[in-house]
Amino acid sequence: MTSPIQTKIDFLVERAKKQNPNINEKKIRAAYECASIAHEGQKRKNGEPYIIHPVSVAEIIVEMGLDTDSICAGLLHDCIEDTEFGYKEIENKFGTSVAELVDGVTRLGMLRYSKEQEQFEDLRKMFLAMAKDIRVILIKLADRLHNARTFQFLPERKQRDKALETMEIYAPIAHRLGMSRIKWELEDLSLKCLDPIGYQEIVEGLEKQSSQHEEFLNHIKECISEKLKEAEIENTISARVKHIYSIYRKMYAQHKTINEIYDICAVRVIVDSVTNCYNVLGYVHDLYKPIPGRFKDYISTPKPNGYQSLHTTVIGREGIPFEIQIRTEEMHKMAEFGVAAHWKYKQGLDKTGNEQAFAWIRQLLEAQQDTEAEDFIKAIKVDLFADEVFVFTPKGDVVNMPAGATPIDLAYAIHSAVGNRMVGAKINGRIAPIDSQLKNGDIVEILTSKETHGPSRNWVKIVKTTEARNKIKQWFKKECREENIEQGKAELDRELKANLMYNGFYENEEIQKNVLQKFTFSSMDELYAAIGYGGITITKVLNKIKDDVMKVRKAQEKVDKLEQPQADKKKGKSESGVMVEGIDNCLVKFARCCTPIPGDDIIGFVTRGYGVSIHRKDCVNVRNHNSKDEENRWIRVWWDEESLDNKKNRFSTGLQISTKSRIGVLSDVAVLLAQAHVNVHELSARDLNDGFGMITAVVDVSGIGQLDNIINRLKKIKGVLDVTRTAEN
Query: What is the closest distance, in whole angstroms, from the C-beta atom of residue 68 to Mn ion in the complex?
Result: 19
Q: How far is CA 502 from the centre of its chain?
A: 44
Query: What is the closest distance, in whole angstroms, from the C-beta atom of residue 5 to Mn ion in the complex?
Result: 16
Nearer to Mn ion (CB atom), residue 81 or residue 467 = 81
Nearer to Mn ion (CB atom), residue 103 or residue 143 = 143
Give the Cα separation of 159 and 491 in Å (integer).
61
Query: What is the closest distance, in whole angstroms, from the C-beta atom of residue 113 to Mn ion in the complex?
Result: 16
**Annotated catalytic residue within 81, 201, 336, 700:** 81
Query: What is the closest distance, in whole angstroms, from the C-beta atom of residue 115 to Mn ion in the complex?
Result: 23
Whole-angstrom CA distances from 592 to 374, 634, 698 are 64, 17, 11
**Annotated catalytic residue within 14, 33, 67, 82:** 82
Give the Cα separation of 136 and 475 in Å (integer).
43
Query: What is the closest distance, in whole angstroms, from the C-beta atom of residue 341 to Mn ion in the complex?
Result: 24
Give the Cα separation of 181 and 217 in Å (integer).
21
Nearer to Mn ion (CB atom), residue 111 or residue 281 = 111
Is-catalytic flag, 81?
Answer: yes
Nearer to Mn ion (CB atom), residue 78 or residue 188 = 78
Nearer to Mn ion (CB atom), residue 143 or residue 185 = 143
E strands present in 404-542: 422-427, 430-432, 444-448
- Given a contact cutoff of 8 angstroms between Cβ atoms, the answer to whether 697 and 683 are in contact is yes
The candidate with the shortest Cα–Cα distance to 189, out of 146, 133, 231, is 146
Nearer to Mn ion (CB atom), residue 39 or residue 327 = 39
The candidate with the shortest Cα–Cα distance to 10, out of 58, 42, 73, 78, is 58
Give the Cα separation of 135 and 100 in Å (integer).
10
Residue type, 392: F
Is-catalytic flag, 560?
Answer: no
- Given a contact cutoff of 8 angstroms between Cβ atoms, the answer to whether 725 and 597 are in contact is no
Tell me the residue nearest to Mn ion as measured from the CB: 143
Nearer to Mn ion (CB atom), residue 149 or residue 648 = 149
Query: What is the closest distance, in whole angstroms, from the C-beta atom of residue 143 to Mn ion in the complex?
Result: 4
SS3 for 291-360 is: CCCCCEECCCCCCCCCCCCEEEEEECHHHCEEEEEEEEHHHHHHHHHHHHHHHHHCCCCCCCCCHHHHHH
Interface with Mn ion (CB under 5 A): 78, 143
Give the Cα separation of 264 and 203 in Å (integer).
12
Query: What is the closest distance, in whole angstroms, from the C-beta atom of residue 54 to Mn ion in the complex?
Result: 7
Q: How many CA atoms lie within 13 A of 69 on its CB side?
A: 20
Residues comprising the chain, all counted: 729
Q: Catalytic residue numbers?
A: 81-82
